[in-house]
Amino acid sequence: MANFSAIVADLQRFGPLQTVREPVPLPQARRYCAGLMRRHFPHFLLFRVAVPRRLQQHFANIFAFWRWGKDLAQHLHDPRSGLALLDWWHRLLQDCYAGEVAHPVFVALRETIETFGIPRDPFADLLAGFRQDQQVRRYQTSEEVLAYCRYAANPLGRVILLLAGCPDARYRQPSDHICTGIAWVSFCRNVARDVRAGRIYLPLTHALRYGYSEEDFLRRTYNQPFKLFLEGELAEAEGWLLAGRKGLTGLPRWVQFVACLAVGEALEWIRRIRASEYNVWTGTVRISRWEWAHLLARTWWDLRRGRLVPQNG
């Protein structure tokens, strides 16, 4: 609820009850989206360094759309209210593609959509993922988790490819693999948080193979079956990450760097969870700012030395 409180005031200014108003001017809409990213994106300074200046505002516009959808979906006590707000957000998306914009996020996003020719599907897919968070609380199989990632994670990678001027279909699969792998690692390391929120993203049939039940999740049981289960899930995530990184050849250097850093951070989480004997229930597995800075430098050096992405030819 704390995160949602950050947009409560904005809902009063720009929410569904405010139907009669003039569109927010584009310069103000840009500043609004940039401010959201500055306040809520954890690696904002890296973003300023790694992403070309000409694209930074467009990244902020996309982030603002994602942030509003995430907050509307996940930080309300009543799922029906969350779904109603997501329906409203989806209507604004449809209006945006029809050329009708007033909300600051969509005023800014419209410029990005027109500049890069971004289709509606990736944004609609993200909203479908947010809606699924309100409607689905358990996942039985890995296929169900992959289907969720198809909506909740992978579209962001595809939009970044369009911003980078790389619509080539051959990059879609590596992008999807990386986004899926990052999401899977998040499900593993945030299992305690998700259980508190009433959700279990990891496939329950996998846990049952080791004798770990849904009731064990709810009791936050830490035992050998849980260790074996999480070991397998992290191996699954690692496979997606490494397969995706191999497919980055030919992309602009800054895209490779951002993608390799995201993969490197996820792999570092895997390493630390393994070192903790898979005890993610305590919340003690962390990466400090200093350690993250070291990861940043190491990624830049390894990429420059050709150790992360296969070279052309």
Write the Ramachandran bin of 99: left for phi over 0, alpha for psi from -120 to 50, otherwise beta: left
| CATH class in words for 137-305 | mainly alpha
Residue 125 near residue 151 (C-beta atoms within 8 A) = yes
SS3 sequence, 266-312?
HHHHHHHHHHCCCCCCCCCCCCCHHHHHHHHHHHHHHHHCCCCCCCC
Q: Where are the domains of the chain?
A: 13-135, 137-305
Mean pLDDT of all residues in 268-287? 95
Which CATH topology does 13-135 take?
A: Farnesyl Diphosphate Synthase (1.10.600)
Q: Do domains 13-135 and 137-305 have the same CATH topology?
A: yes
The one-letter amino acid at 257:
F
Residue 142 has pLDDT above 70, yes or no: yes
Residue 2 has pLDDT above 50, yes or no: no
Q: What pLDDT score does 78 carry?
A: 65
pLDDT 10s digits, 182-206: 999 999 999 999 999 899 999 999 9
**Beta-bridge partner residues of 138:** 200
Q: Is 94 exposed, middle or buried (0-12, 13-18, 19+ CB in 10 A)?
A: exposed
Put simply, whether the predicted model's pTM sits higher than 0.75 gets the answer: yes
Non-local (6+) Cβ contacts of 138 within 8 A are 199, 200, 204, 214
Q: What pLDDT score does 1 carry?
A: 42
Residue 127 has pLDDT above 90, yes or no: yes
Closest CA to 283 of 294, 299, 272: 272
Residue 77 has pLDDT above 60, yes or no: no
Number of H helices, E strands in the chain: 17, 0
pLDDT > 90 in the chain, percent = 77
Residue 21 binned pLDDT confidence (cut-offs 50, 70, 90): low
Residue 262 has pLDDT above 50, yes or no: yes
